[in-house]
A and B are shown apart, each in its own frame.
Chain A
Amino acid sequence: MSHGNMNLTLKVWKQKNKNERGRFETYQAKGISPDMSFLEMFDVVNEGLINEGKEPIAFDHDCREGICGMCSMYINGRPHGPKEGITTCQLHMRSFKDGDTIVVEPWRSAAFPVIKDLVVDRSSFDRIMAAGGFVSVNTGNAKDANNILIPKDDADTAFNAAACIGCGACVAACKNASAMLFVSAKVSQLALLPQGKIEAKNRVLNMVKQMDEEGFGNCTNTGACEAECPKEISLENIARMNREYLGASLT
């Protein structure tokens, strides 16, 4: 397919603010290149809207290279669209066909209120992190990098959990709007390392408490979060969090 010959119909969620009830609006996206990213397609549509004197569609984006986790778009029934292991900026228009109708919604969760259109407030994740997603250290000179030896397997497993970018796709994909994959990744990345083990008990108790207070749903192990995670965080982390929590509660 050559440059600039895709024509698409977009059904996009429009919502003025947190308190207004939103609705869908239909837009035509004309002259779209299959090589554009999904966000670039929105840029083109918005440029057209601005030139016509209409209000553009609000959407979140920052790095556009798959690591910021801002692009909270639920596209045709799936977070970040029809491909696995990617964010919206890594989704290209060649994944769609000319003439397609694409439905774009924001993340739907009580804990992620819509700020405007496709932009949601994910500060509930920040509050969960503030409740325990850290390691306490005394300030001073940086210590020698290798004075605590860590088995390679543990380092790798912790790193895989730490790959979580906090985008909220797990919450968006879950039928219960549960944040267990996110919280478990953050609990795991620290609990697996010697530096994080010291505060592991309090960490898991406090982070789960905050998660519950934010109004996220409960996990029913459907596995949709793992399937939709752009960083392919494993369900093993949820089992690890369950273990940590059970151990911390009973001892």
Chain B
Amino acid sequence: MSNTSGFLFSSLGKKVVMGATGLFLVTFLLVHCFINALIFFNDGGLTFNIGAHFMGTNWLIRTMELVLFFGLVLHIVQAAVLTRENQKARPVAYANPGGNVSSSWYSRSMGLLGTLLLMFLIIHLAHFWVKSRFTGIPTEDANGHEDLYAIMQETFKQLWVVVVYVLAMVSLAYHLLHGFQSAFQTLGLNHKKYTPLIKKTGVCFSIVIPLIFALMPLAMHFGWIK
């Protein structure tokens, strides 16, 4: 009596959706980070603009953009539903909720970290995505590509923007620090041989990717790249 339809509405099914969409978003971060890291060629954004042009015009990437939005919305909506259910599961709170002895603060704060990331995402999309997709980029570089690099330089001149981006990357690092390995556990991928490897990979990923991202506004603001 397998119950495939009930699966998505069960507690474990919802966890699987969170884990699977989470890992999908991890793959997005990886691609986003590599493409953006092209700014570090320090060639006035020529290479970066080629990458941005490819991402903006390739049909496969444009299709995946829709899948990405769907995955992101699913991750957020599911998180809201689960949080609501979890609050209902403990109607009377502990007077002494305990501390960090048995679990880490960031593993208990995924909702808060995620909300901060969502706020950042809205600002971030307004800065770049809306301009490149809808309102248009006014200038072109030497190759005749839309000069998204110039938009980046312009945006990161403002100190508050740099501060917001760096803080958001701190949130991202902690969100990933729990989320990466947690997704594997949720999908049932726990094994004495491989779990330590997954955990170490997760820690490296959670530090390296947000660090590279955080270096982008910093490098532009302080003129480390021109």
Contact = CB atoms under 8 A, between A and B. Distances in A.
Interface of A: 11, 22, 24, 74, 76-78, 103, 105, 108-111, 173, 175-178, 180, 201-202, 205, 208-209, 211-212, 215-224, 227-228, 235-236, 238-246, 248-251
Given A103-B95, A205-B2, A209-B6, 7 more contacts: A74-B96, A222-B104, A222-B107, A222-B108, A227-B101, A240-B190, A249-B7
Contacts of A228: 102
Q: Which 10 A-B pairs have the closest CB atoms?
A: A243-B188, A239-B190, A77-B98, A217-B89, A227-B102, A176-B86, A222-B103, A242-B188, A224-B103, A177-B89
Nearest to A212: B11
Interface in B123-175: none
Nearest to B88: A110
B71 interface: no
Interface residues of B, number: 44
26 contacts: A11-B95, A77-B96, A78-B98, A78-B102, A103-B95, A103-B96, A110-B89, A177-B89, A180-B11, A202-B1, A208-B11, A212-B10, A217-B89, A218-B86, A220-B110, A222-B178, A223-B103, A227-B101, A227-B103, A240-B190, A242-B186, A242-B187, A242-B188, A246-B12, A250-B2, A250-B7
Nearest to A247: B188
Contacts of A177: 86, 89-90
Contacts of A248: 2
A219 to B, nearest CB: 6
B15 A77 contact: no
Nearest to A223: B103
B59 interface: no
A235 B11 CA distance: 17
Nearest to A209: B10
Contact of B10 (A76, A208, A239, A251): A208
Given A205-B3, A212-B10, A212-B11, A77 B97 contact: yes
Query: Which of B10, B13, B14 has the most chain A CB atoms closer than 10 A to its own CB?
Result: B10
B86 A105 contact: no
A108 B47 CA distance: 57
Contacts of A245: 10, 12
Given A105-B95, A175-B86, A221 B182 contact: yes
Given A242-B187, A249-B3, A251-B2, A175 B103 contact: yes
B96 A76 contact: yes
Contacts of B223: none
B85 A238 contact: no
B82 interface: yes
A137 B11 CA distance: 30
A221 B7 contact: no
A15 B178 CA distance: 37
Contacts of A110: 88-91
Contact of B90 (A108, A222, A243): A108
A248 to B, nearest CB: 6
Query: Which of A105, A175, A219 has the most chain B CB atoms closer than 10 A to its own CB?
Result: A175
A47 B46 CA distance: 83
Interface string B1-45: 111101100111111100000000000000000000000000000
B60 interface: no
Contacts of A251: 2
A173 B4 CA distance: 31
Interface in B43-68: none
Given A24-B95, A212-B11, A176 B103 contact: no
Contacts of B97: 77
A189 to B, nearest CB: 17
